[in-house]
A and B are shown apart, each in its own frame.
Chain A
Amino acid sequence: MAQEGNSTRQRDFAGALKHAALAALIAFGLFSLLVGIRTDTGSGGALELTARYEMLAAFVAVAFIGAFLREFLFAGATFDAASYVPAALRGFAARIAPFLGPAFLIVALAVPIIFYDNRYILDLSIQILTYVMLGWGLNIVVGLAGLLDLGYVAFYAVGAYSYALLAQNFDLSFWICLPLAGILAAFWGILLGFPVLRLRGDYLAIVTLAFGEIIRLVLLNWQSLTGGPNGISSIPRPSFFGLPFNSDEGGFAHTFGLEFSPTHRVVFLYYVILVLALITNAVTIRLRRLPIGRAWEALREDEIACRSLGINTTNTKLTAFAIGAMFGGFAGSFFATRQGFISPESFVFQESALVLAIVVLGGMGSQIGVAIAATVMLGGFEFFREFQQYRMVVFGLAMVAIMIWRPRGLISTRVPSVFLTKEKPVDIALAREEGRG
């Protein structure tokens, strides 16, 4: 509806008003019943209606004013987020970019020291790091190999349940279960990936979604093994090289002559997930330089060209899938040991969407971008905790907005792994335009 107005770049008051009236009419149609009337379950069990005129009026007014401003003030102006950043700032950003990673690392290492007394910040940081790790794991699949995986949370679940069941039934310690959980998740990745990786991009996405749901439903219904909706509780906590975190003699605090504090375990968990996340990062960076990593990126850019050059696309995809799944499994077993309780509730599709949104928002393939996106998103979720319901709407709309304005994510420059003479960042958006048309 904006096309007609866009061609002439002049401010047309009447036209904008007409446009805004149309927008208000559409908004009225959209919201008249769903917003304007509230349904409540009455005393007799039947639904009762309550009119909400003010709320409806507010929605329509917002649409009217928004459309008017957009038409009248920004008529014909193409919105480009990048152009709003002043050149000087962009130059500065380019200069500090190489220091961003180390700076983040130093902050991450210092968090438990600075916030030692603040349990809330510590817990939130552990959660953020878990999602950073998941984001980096999924980044291998989505960002590097270009396979859209909507069921990533399934591998997270496999890891969590593997650890919980192995630890409870065979009395194995966390450090033995961790690699086992990763291997099992990778195995599941291969098992699920093998038949479906021949599929095209969006078919693959739906199949992975279906797999994610299948695994969740099986966990929910296989009562005898997984406890069904009640989940598994009292999962063993990790120990510090065999020293448990308790106040007994022989515990961590006693051995090192410290006064017992429950914070010791939290700090320990923090460093465990930090190390796990850094391993994920290091492995990803190394893999990108190996032939397999280059094959992934080539595959993402053009599958047909890859096949013509003799790359075994199925195997290449499968390794990406399996390695991504393995890191998901590690993160899952960490999640299980940290929570001490897991249930299928923690592994719903929304979780997959959240991890995917972190990868997308951070700029697919950019490691530091994913870390920033995870921090911003989970920090934002915490900050707006009172608006719990609204934040999911904003989250969904943000995914749409990012795709429209910054389809390459916030950090859309990426250092290529191979270069001819000297290192220079390439704007993927530009590079890709040519290929896709």
Chain B
Amino acid sequence: MEYFLQQLINGVTLGAIYGLIAIGYTMVYGIIGMINFAHGDIFMIGAFIALIAFLALVAIGVTAVPLALFLVLLIAMALTSLYGWTVERFAYRPLRHSFRLAPLISAIGMSIALQNYVQIVQGARVKPLPPLIGGGYTIIDSPVFVVQLSNVQILVVLTTVALMAVFSWIVANTRLGRDMRACEQDLKMASLVGVNVDRTISYTFIIGAALAAVAGIMHLLYYGVVDFYIGFVAGVKAFTAAVLGGIGSLPGAMIGGLLIGLIETFWSAYFSIEYKDVAAFSILVIVLIFLPTGILGRPEIEKV
């Protein structure tokens, strides 16, 4: 029971990180119907920017952890969204009216380019960061197993919940959110009634990248290491989360992220840690076969 509770806590934390990345996939897919294959690498870039920004802040004398973290959050979100914008502007926008598979192939190229770019400029080594936020609470202190809830885990979950709330509010109540929903329903019609489609899509990429940057920071704080390869696996898992929750649906992305995080954690805890990625990828296959619209997704109607 104690062991189960501990895994539950770990799984929820991991799921929150996946959920944040999954939002980027689900929004882009909802609006322009493409899988932004480079999104996982945007997440990786966010983690790297956060790491460097934090070290730079320490170097110039900002040592108070809460202040430094807040600044890192702002810097990483700003710079990573710049990456998101640039990728969309140069690799996807010219392909808006190209044939069906062109944007996906372009995204794969972008993903390879970004991964190797980071490898060149920062090296292939794993980059460690000393734990910034120590401490935590002991929930159950039984002689068999000690269940702990660390402060990092609390921070990860609270930040995710707060960001989800802000983001849902933006989508539901602002002009931008209305434009986004309009584009999701019908891109051509939205442009006819005066929605600036290009700008809306740019903002979608910016927001998606900013959330991925936050996920990158969480990943950095939680695991304490980052390398240029984390984007690929995290990206595929977050995409799985988006599909599982129903692609195009924001609460779906969050639910999917949580489920994937839990499945992965429990699989590693009770079965085998070597096959945890196999479990996550198998979920993707199974969901697509038996529940292609996901948990909260709408069925897709093919029109001629």
Interface centre among A148, A202, A221, A353 (most CB of B within 10 A): A202
Stretch at the interface among B63-71, B92-100, B155-163, B176-184: B92-100
Q: Is A1 an interface residue (CB 8 A)?
A: yes
Find chain B residues with CB under 8 A from A397 CB.
Answer: 109, 113
Contact across chains for A400 and B289 when beta carbons are under 8 A apart: no
Q: Does B232 contact A (CB under 8 A)?
A: yes
Q: Tell whether, in the assembled complex, residue A389 and residue B99 are in contact, meaning their CB atoms are under 8 Å apart.
A: no
B234: Cβ under 8 A from any A Cβ = no
Give the dominant DSSP class at B's interface: helix
A403 on interface, CB distance cutoff 8 Å: yes
Closest A residue by C-beta to B247: A203
Complex interface: chain B residues within 8 A of A399 (CB):
105-106, 108-109, 112
The answer to whether the Cβ of A14 comes within 8 Å of any Cβ in the partner chain is no
Tell me if A33 and B56 are in contact (CB < 8 A): yes
Q: Note all chain A residues with C-beta closer than 8 A to B90.
A: 400
User: For residue A31, which residue of chain B has the nearest CB?
Assistant: B121
Q: Which residues of chain B (47-72) have a CB below 8 Å from chain A?
A: 48-49, 51-53, 55-56, 59
Closest to A195 in B: B289
B68 to chain A, nearest CB (A): 15
Instruction: Judge if A26 is at the interface, Cβ distance under 8 Å.
Output: yes
Q: How far is the CA of A404 from the CA of B112 in the complex (A)?
A: 17
Once the chains bind, are B86 and A396 in contact (CB under 8 Å)?
no
User: Are A203 and B288 in touch, CB under 8 angstroms?
Assistant: yes
A38/B122 in contact, CB under 8 A: yes
Q: Are the CB atoms of A35 and B285 closer together than 8 Å?
A: no
Known: A37-B56, A46-B130. A214 touches B281 (CB 8 A): yes
Interface size on A, residues (CB 8 A): 63
Chain A contacts for B86, CB-based, 8 A: 26, 30
Q: Using Cβ atoms and an 8 Å threshold, which residues of chain A touch B232?
A: 349
Most buried by A among B103, B112, B115: B112
* Smallest Cβ-Cβ distance to B90: which chain A residue: A400
A221 nearest in chain B by CB position:
B274
Does the CB pair B109–A403 fall under 8 Å?
yes
Write out the residue numbers on chain A whose beta carbons fall within 8 Å of the beta carbon of B53.
33
A201 — which chain B residues lie within 8 A by C-beta?
Answer: 100-101, 104
Q: Which residues of chain A in 201-238 are interfacial with respect to chain B, using CB atoms and an 8 Å cutoff?
A: 201-203, 205-207, 209-211, 213-214, 217-218, 220-221
- In the complex, A214→B112 CA distance in Å? 20
CA–CA, A357 and B101, complex, Å: 13
- Given the known interface contacts A29-B82, A214-B282, A304-B304, the answer about A196 and B52 at a Cβ–Cβ threshold of 8 Å is no
Check A210 against B284 for contact (C-beta < 8 Å): yes
Contacts A34-B118, A202-B34, A221-B274; A360 near B302 (Cβ below 8 A): no
Residue A95 interfacial (CB < 8 Å): no
Given contacts A195-B289, A201-B104, A407-B98, 16 further A-B contacts (CB under 8 A): A29-B82, A33-B48, A33-B56, A34-B121, A39-B123, A41-B128, A201-B100, A206-B35, A209-B236, A210-B236, A304-B302, A356-B108, A390-B120, A400-B90, A403-B109, A404-B106
Q: A residues near B, CB below 8 A? A: 1, 26, 29-30, 32-35, 37-41, 45-47, 49, 146, 148, 150, 195-196, 198-203, 205-207, 209-211, 213-214, 217-218, 220-221, 304, 349-350, 353, 356-357, 360, 389-390, 392-393, 395-400, 403-404, 407, 432, 436-437
Q: Can you list 11 A-B pairs with a CB-CB distance of less than 8 A?
A: A34-B118, A37-B52, A202-B34, A206-B35, A210-B281, A213-B236, A214-B278, A389-B119, A396-B112, A396-B114, A397-B109
